[in-house]
Amino acid sequence: MRLPPLKLPSTLRIALGALARNRSRSLLTMLGVVIGVAAVIITVAIGAGARTSVASQINGLGSNMLILLPGSVNLGGSRTGTGGASTLTIADGLAIAQLPHVAAVSPTVTVRTQVVAGNNNWQTTISGVAPSYTFIRNWPLASGTFFSQHDVDATAKVAVLGQTVETNLFPGGADPIGRTILIRNVPFVVTGTLSAKGQSSVGQDQDDTILIPFSSALERLTGQTTLASMLVSADDSSNIAQVQSEVTSLLEQRHHIVAGAPDDFSIRNLQDIANAASATASVMQLLLAGVAAVSLLVGGIGIMNIMLVSVTERTREIGLRVAVGARRTAILWQFLVEAVVLSTLGGAAGVIFGGVGSVAIATLAKWPATVPPSAVVLAVAFSALVGVFFGYYPAAKASRLDPIVALRFE
């Protein structure tokens, strides 16, 4: 009389009992999978955090932003490099603003000078910009108001302070709104303060700045008619490349640049910088994932070795079960389930340790570490597949044992 095949709950109960009888060996066997899965989780968290950090820094620079700079000129055989040409004008900005998919344009005039407020002074960067500047740069105000287009048209003497300038010119928490500051001996009234922006990706203090109308900067501070740069914001990230192409064509036409001649301006696309940084982060993540995969492979080999040892130790048990009617498929499933249980429990423990490790990295290194739920599911599923893959051979070997030989095994 043959016994019916084992059901899954019974098979699972037998497998857990066998593993429990050798707790130390089972825990050590799972260790390789635990390390591998934890490494995968931490790797994914670091990679996702790196992309988040890059995206945050790029978005902090501006909203779908293009930066236009004057090009290079040749003076007596010497090329000045980017910024040497005086070619960008306010009229160029007005023309660019009429292009489709252009959301906003802001001319920029930059001056580095000493600023005085009462008995305090501070050297900082004065940027002459348009009212659209805060929209393009994603830079809200902390207090007060920003200047308007009317202020630009009237070349008004108004200013908005960055947090670093505010701290140094008005220490002790004094309110700067309505106070007067001197920029190159020209009085400007403070109408607002910017929220803290922090350091840029190159370590520059973005809060060490004062914003004034670009018309005031040109007329009252520099006496020039050309711009240091121009910021252009596309209406959507998908249109950045199109806007860049249209701006290039428009400026070549306005500056009478013939085909084949070098442009007297340059355009920097922040999206290209973001893509390059993201690609670098992805490559590093793949390298780390390779290391984690090796750890999982080692863990799988450990499972296979231990299961082979288990088959050898339980040869008489297997022979006795087959002799009393156990099907070979039941033997196969028993050992396969043991391997899968080992790897799955190791995967679950690895997820826990990986989550703890990700939090520790984010806390200690002040690095954003995000663990996507899909990564957790994939890590556990992959660890279970490791158990199936490396556990099948020992299980198949156990199911093929000759019961007569197995019963005689010492």
Report the alpha-carbon distance of residue 206 to residue 1 in Å, rounded: 84
The mean pLDDT values, 10 residues at a time, for the chain of 410 residues are 51 68 75 80 77 64 78 54 68 92 92 93 94 90 94 95 94 91 94 87 81 94 88 87 91 86 82 64 69 71 73 67 68 75 83 86 74 76 76 70 57
C-beta of residue 226 within 8 angstroms of C-beta of residue 86: yes
Specify the pairing of strand 229-234 against strand 65-70: antiparallel
Burial letters for 191-209: b for 16+ Cβ neighbours within 10 Å, e otherwise? bbbbeebeeeeeeebbbbb
In order, the DSSP letters of 270-297 are HHHHHHHHHHHHHHHHHHHHHHHHHHHH
pLDDT recorded at residue 32: 76
Q: For the chain, give the number of residues.
A: 410
- pTM here? 0.60
Report the alpha-carbon distance of residue 54 to residue 202 in Å, rounded: 12
pLDDT recorded at residue 2: 43
The interaxial angle of helices 23-61 and 373-399, nearest 10 deg, is: 150
In the three-class reduction of DSSP (H, G, I as helix; E, B as strand; rest coil), residue 191 is classed as strand
Look at the block and give the residue holding tokens 């490494």.
Answer: 39
In order, the DSSP letters of 35-51 are HHHHHHHHHHHHHHHHH
pLDDT recorded at residue 224: 86
